[in-house]
Amino acid sequence: AVERTLSIVKPDATRRNLTGKINARFEEAGLRIVAQKRIRLTREQAEQFYIVHAERPFYGELVSFMISGPVVVQVLEGENAVARNREIMGATNPANAAPGTIRKDFAESIEANSVHGSDSLENAATEIAYFFSGTEIVG
């Protein structure tokens, strides 16, 4: 089925001017960028976005990292977009990511791993609504 998923180009990637190269990976794989904006997350936005990780030891550092520079939040649309995007990104830890994936090729560390992607269709809907109104998404 055609799905939508939330993607974030993280501060380590925007800092190294990799937004275009990352977007090319999505487009070449058949995903369409149907919404996109470059923003600076507030601490409160980053804390809320990653609230499911609040008890994890890396939560504080993750929030600090996500507000350390601009991010590009985007909605990707396509057949099986949630799973497809996770394939394109590769494993969370770049050390475990498959060749040819974004994280293998661009990520700096398990934290500065260049991209975020929704992990389920249900979370995708929540995460998309967190950043975009309906009229900002143009399919």
Catalytic residues: 116
Please report whether residue 108 would count as binding ligand CMP according to CB under 6 A: no
Identity of the residue, 36 or 92, whose beta carbon is nearer to ligand CMP in the bound complex:
92
**Is 93 annotated for ligand binding?**
no
**Is 86 annotated for ligand binding?**
yes
Q: Which residues, in sequence order, are CB contacts of 1 under 8 Å at separation 6+?
A: 79, 80
Among 26, 116, 124, 127, binds ligand CMP (CB under 6 A): 116
State the number of binding residues for ligand CMP (CB under 6 A): 8
Minimum distance of ligand CMP from residue 13's CB (angstroms): 11
Q: Name which of 135, 134, 132, 136 is nearest 8 in CA terms.
A: 132
**Helix or strand holding residue 71 (H, E):** strand 71-79
**Is 10 annotated for ligand binding?**
yes
Cα-based distances in Å from 119 to 4, 10, 16, 20, 84: 12, 16, 25, 23, 11
Contacts (CB under 6 A) with ligand CMP, residues 65-104? 92
CB of 65 closer than 8 Å to CB of 112: yes
CB of 81 closer than 8 Å to CB of 4: yes
Among 33, 62, 91, 137, binds ligand CMP (CB under 6 A): 62
**Is 131 annotated for ligand binding?**
no
d(CA 108, CA 48) in angstroms, rounded, equals 24
Binding region for ligand CMP (CB under 6 A) out of 22-30, 73-81, 106-114, 129-137: 106-114
List contacts with ligand CMP (CB under 6 A): 53, 58, 62, 92, 110-111, 113, 116
